[in-house]
Amino acid sequence: MASPTLTSTPLADGFSMPAEWQPHRQTWMIWPERPDNWRLGGKPAQHAFAAVARAIAQFEPVTLGVSAAQYDNAAAQLAGEPDIRLVELSNNDAWMRDTGPTFVRNAQGEIRGVDWIFNAWGGLQGGLYFPWDKDDQVARKVLQIENLPRYRSSFVLEGGAIHVDGEGTLLTTEACLLNPNRNPHMDREAIEMAMREYLGIEKVLWLPRGIVDDETDEHIDNMACFIGPAEVLLAWTDDTQDPQYAHSQAALEYLSQQTDAKGRSLTIHKLPVPGPLYMTAEEAAGVDPIDATQPRQAGNRLAASYINFLFCNGGIVMPAFDDPMDEVARKLVAELCPQHRVIQVPGREILLGGGNIHCITQQQPA
């Protein structure tokens, strides 16, 4: 049975996006295979995604969308994992945060989903691949699988571009949401109004920039996130020579002067970035040079950040990069989120494709 498509908005119906640390029913992912993004035919990335799925499954069920061509391979790699369910799901690439639905909930605990228009991070003006038609269908299919009502938005947005505290406040970046390659017909005020309607939020906090060389036009989920009411974790470097320093400094200055939707001043915690990290010649050579909109080249700076983690039921799954900062970041997150057990999973193979653990997951609230 097809899930109903609603003509109203979540706000009008009393629905809003809950904070990520609130209870989940499950987490959604997509299996990677695109050879012009994932090196060596996607094999190293598949092992990395499987490790992430297993880590999440220690805390909550995982549903993994897999193309028909990769179904047997994924099933073999994840055999013996009772909490990981495979469903056949056509896709153009594996970024469930951005192509999957954003789930909203009402006071009675009912769940619905928002299906954003997806244009591969910029469409024909700087987007990362073409076509993206299968990816634009992912959210609708997920909601049909779960038999949940669907709101189809009238504008372009990716899940990685927004982060909420569940109490009326949303974080985003100007670099992404004000980029004319998403919604050139909408100004800041129109975008804020649309996010109020679809996410039930009251206030938008606009960080100027995100992580340097983040090919999503600097998604917020690589740069900053809420870890509790009025509490923000911010990607940080003390190296004044690193271009990231100016981005992080501008964000700190901005956030220090803001209050959340409830009028509270923000507590800001600095989470160090690794590296800088760069793509090696061997890694670049493993990517099929089919589509050169974002060529994978030796020496490319990688948009590495520990902010790109996922809250699970009682856990946090965060990336490690074989970097001296890995343990520093893990300890800090564990101290700041004592109700959660922090697990680190190797994130470099995911990073090579342009994102990390938060980018490849989408939580479905309980």
Catalytic residues: 359
Q: Which two tokens stand for residue 40?
A: 């060596």
Spatial distance between the Cα atoms of 147 and 87, rounded to a whole number of angstroms: 14
- Quickly count: other Cβ atoms within 10 Å of residue 69's Cβ: 9
Tell me the CA distances in angstroms from 92 to 78, 150, 272, 294, 352, one per residue in order.
21, 21, 33, 15, 17
Spatial distance between the Cα atoms of 53 and 145, rounded to a whole number of angstroms: 19
| Contact criterion met (CB below 8 Å) for 205 and 164 | no
| Contact criterion met (CB below 8 Å) for 203 and 163 | no
Q: Which two tokens stand for residue 41?
A: 């035919």
| CB half-sphere exposure, 82, CA atoms < 13 A | 0
Spatial distance between the Cα atoms of 352 and 37, rounded to a whole number of angstroms: 8
Spatial distance between the Cα atoms of 252 and 268, rounded to a whole number of angstroms: 8
Altogether, the residues listed in the chain come to a count of: 366
Give residue 303's Cα distance to chain centre.
13
Spatial distance between the Cα atoms of 194 and 116, rounded to a whole number of angstroms: 11
Q: Which two tokens stand for residue 357?
A: 């653990």
Q: State how beta strands 310-312 and 315-320 pair.
A: antiparallel
Tell me the CA distances in angstroms from 70 to 31, 46, 73, 231, one per residue in order.
8, 10, 5, 41
Spatial distance between the Cα atoms of 3 and 325, rounded to a whole number of angstroms: 45
E-strand ranges in 192-237 read 203-207, 224-228, 231-236
